[in-house]
Chain A
Amino acid sequence: MPRLLGRWLVRSTLLVLLVSALTFVLVSLTPGDPARTILGQSATQEQYEALRLQMGLDAPLLTRYGAWLSDALHGDLGASLFSGEPVTGLIAQRLGVTLTLITGGVLVAGLLGVALGVISSRSSGVLARVVDVASLVGSAIPPFWLGLVLSAVFAVGLRLVPVVGYTSPAVDPVAWALSIVLPIVTLALAGTAIVAKQTRDAMREELGKDYVLVLRSHGASEWTVQIKHALRNAGVPVVTVLGVLLIGLLGGTVLVESVFSLPGLGGLAVTSTLRHDLPVIQGVTVLFAVVVVAVNLLVDLVNAWINPKVAA
């Protein structure tokens, strides 16, 4: 385990550095300019150049990246070029929403998907085919379209939940639950289908192995056979899929946040990119990179717990 953590630390540090450098370069190379955006069309060239100087945009790319990295290592991700708000504050304000969406989506997809997978693994009939079709359809439905449909039915039609907006759980837990349920379901649907199919296939493979026959011949209960042994052994690919799913949901939140008008990091990333607000883009991207490496570590750790040979 210490070796695993050591490798992870080195790899993740390098990865985050690489991502931050690439982001810095790519955003700087894309057309558009925050100074021009702030000044508008009627500004003179002199005003434009003066603002670029004031914002430090005239400095060489490497110098600017170095300054950013130095500050970032001291916990300062800079401030928005437009509003002047600290990037860490902007992220903190929106992190909770995105984390809620992602963890909620993964939990729902994981619990439902594993349950459906286990149940359908025992059936070769209708239920198995339903899982097959559902996983195909579920992964093909665009989340924003699904979100609009769910919103039309449950928010506009039945008036069970709000159409847009987010309520903090500290303000009103019930309103928070209502504001977050549809976005989570929207995010989770495709993942549920994928996890169910993965679980079913892995379970079938395990249930066909010799040790299952031995367990059954020794009179082990079906619960012990399926959950304690087969599911645990089938868990490695399922956990890996859940990890991939969680990373994928980072991107999915952008559209879902837009449909349900939620103040999350996805929307912040999009608007900052459109404005060329480099410090904010950098902050969000680096955070996403950290989340990705953390999820990968988590997957490795869980897999190592499930199957100690992985950690060896």
Chain B
Amino acid sequence: MLYMWCAPPYVPVDTSADRRRRRGAHPPENRSPAMTNRRTSSLKNRGRTTATAVAATAVAALVAGCSGGAGGGQEQGTPNASATPCGVADSLTFGNGAGPSTLDPGTIDQSASLYIQPAYEPLIRRDPQGEYVPGLAVEWGYVGEGNTQFQIQLREGVTFPDGGELTAEGVVEHFTYLQQAGGSSSALLAGTTFTVESPLQLTMNLAAPNPILEELLSQDWVIGMVISPIALQDPAALGTSTAGAGQYVLDTSRTVAGDTYVYTANPDYYDPSAVHYREMTIRVVANPNSLLSALQTGELDAAIGDFTTASAARGAGLQVAAQPTVWQGLGLFDRAGSLSAPLADQRVRQAINFAIDRETVTEALYAGDGVPTSEIALPGSEDYNEDTADFYAYDPDRARELLTEAGYPDGFTLDVLSTDFANIGTAGQALAGQLEQVGIELNLVQEEPNSYVTDLFSAAYPAAAVGLGSPPVHISATLAIAPTGPFNPFRTEDAELATLYTQAAAAEEADRAALNQQIVARVQELAWFAPVTFTPVYYYGSATTGGLAVNEQNRLLDPVNLFSTQC
């Protein structure tokens, strides 16, 4: 299975003490003064900001399994947003197009975290309103300046289904296991050391500034989903069972790997009011049409949909919710011109951007569900730069001028890696038609997803048709802008970007958004990419399934927040 990042929403929120009290959490008594002060300061800043965007950084091939939606505040259909839970219902069956390769949090693909979310309680929980509220941690925050130390105060009295207890020592063991397991999470924790402050308090000492730990420790990422210390004594079993302190426990006797995952309610979950079903099932239904049919007949209650069936789902009277998430377009990777000399000229890369009629392409490919963009940040997110939204307004004449100035008045031919997965190939063909108008001929080389990823990462092509998510800029910069990032295969460097990245990573929250916007604008100016449209992730639900709403504040659907409205 190919790999993808389906990152969570970046939603700084006002997590007030009142809200925590309402949810039954109590301030820890042994919280450090430094942590408290920093937390208070942080909350003031957060009050000014409400939303940002989700992140999903994906090679196109990987979009299908994404459990997240995000976007520019666009919502389609009539999600059951106003519905209220009916108490504890019997069962919920959720459908998804792809199964996980493993259930081990140490090695699971982040895009498949849907399958462990029911069973693993995160340290910090993003609630359906998109706010970060206590999970296994009741208090958290950066200590001091520079975003290099993060302190966590744990909930008291939490036990795992296997009898393990939640302790600071155990959480450190959990983080250490993830660092060593070799999965995608290990990179997020690389170089981090830990200090146990007290039985229920620990400090993460980061190797480099990281301003988005609150988000990374939520259920949308894997590193915050704490594994029982008892289970860590035999990690081999983690691939086929669960060992978290979440609402549910995997019933291995009724689970068929790659097909059906059955979870039963965890009687020891610390907040029984959050458990909406006695049993939850996640079914893998690979065929989008079959998935839609199963929703129509009631065999599924909710599912992650697909753009090919969205219209039919609406026609069938299902709830359909969508948030644009993944940007499609071109990655103009060979910025030194080693494989394609024209790409070394910034004017040529800009010409490509000017030559694309984003509105037309978006409408043709995704009707009303796509959002045209020339930025890598989601419209509506705090990283989005309003000032440069029209930087590449469609202007083929300007494109021709730039090509002439760069010495390519008759255009040139560009080899572009592409794949049929997740509509990437179709999008590439649409762009080929656009660029042909200014003399640039795209030679699209279609490959199957595995080869596509391999060739993309190994810099085998000067450019590629891509579908990349839009995580917080700190992550997208690490993956696609930094010289070490896998989506920067030719290792391009830019001094201004490097400075901005360093500043933003260490910045206080109040200053970070502005710096991130500068990063977005700089990437746009350099034309390292040619983003065209944000494509949505769809969620379908039956009439009686509530909690389906996704919006700017809550861009990723969490299956454990689904509830029945059939009283």
Contact = CB atoms under 8 A, between A and B. Distances in A.
Interface of A: 30-33, 36-44, 47, 50-51, 54, 80, 82-85, 90, 93-94, 144, 148, 151-152, 155-156, 159, 162-166, 258-263, 267-268, 271, 274-277
A47 B57 CA distance: 20
Nearest to A260: B290
Contacts of A31: 450-451, 454-455
Given A82-B102, A261-B286, A47 B239 contact: no
A262 B283 CA distance: 10
Nearest to A255: B287
Contact of B99 (A51, A155, A271): A271
Nearest to B238: A84
* Nearest 8 pairs of A and B residues by beta carbon: A40-B184, A32-B450, A263-B259, A41-B486, A82-B101, A42-B187, A83-B239, A31-B451
B417 to A, nearest CB: 12
Given A32-B454, A263-B259, 9 more contacts: A41-B59, A41-B487, A90-B257, A151-B293, A162-B294, A163-B290, A263-B256, A263-B260, A271-B1
Contacts of B287: 144, 148, 258-259, 261
A261 B285 contact: yes
Nearest to B478: A42
Most central of A41, A82, A159 by chain B CB within 10 Å:
A41
Contacts of A277: 101
B107 interface: yes
A275 B1 contact: yes
B182 A51 contact: yes
Interface residues of B, number: 56
B285 A164 contact: yes
Contact of B297 (A36, A42, A54, A156): A156
B257 A37 contact: no
Contact of B103 (A33, A83, A260): A83
Given A83-B239, A263-B258, A32 B451 contact: yes
B505 to A, nearest CB: 15
Given A267-B286, A271-B1, A38 B182 contact: yes
Contacts of B124: none
A260 to B, nearest CB: 7
Given A33-B454, A84-B236, A274-B450, A165 B183 contact: no
A262 B110 CA distance: 25
B107 A38 contact: yes
B479 A41 contact: yes
B105 to A, nearest CB: 13
Contacts of A42: 184, 187-188, 478-479, 485-486
Contacts of A163: 290, 293-294, 296-297, 299
A36 B2 CA distance: 9
Contacts of A164: 283, 285, 290-291, 293-294, 299-300
Contacts of A30: 450-451
B215 interface: no
Contacts of B1: 37, 82, 271, 274-275
Instruction: Give the most central of A33, A155, A165: most B CB within 10 Å.
Output: A165
Interface in B224-247: 236, 239-240
B457 interface: yes
Contacts of A258: 286-287, 290
A84 B102 contact: yes
B528 interface: no
Contacts of B486: 41-42
Contact of A83 (B102, B285, B457): B102
Nearest to B187: A42
Contacts of B107: 38, 82
Given A83-B104, A156-B296, A47 B257 contact: no
13 contacts: A36-B453, A41-B479, A41-B486, A43-B182, A47-B187, A51-B182, A80-B102, A82-B101, A83-B101, A162-B297, A162-B299, A165-B294, A267-B259
A39 B109 CA distance: 8
A37 B291 CA distance: 26
A163 B260 CA distance: 15
A51 B183 CA distance: 9
Which of B3, B5, B291 is the most central at the interface, judged by chain A CB atoms within 10 Å of its CB? B3
Contacts of A166: 259
A85 B297 contact: no
Interface string B316-360: 000000000000000000000000000000000000000000000
Interface string B280-311: 00011111011101101101100000000000
A133 to B, nearest CB: 28
B186 interface: yes
B541 to A, nearest CB: 17
B12 interface: no
A154 to B, nearest CB: 11
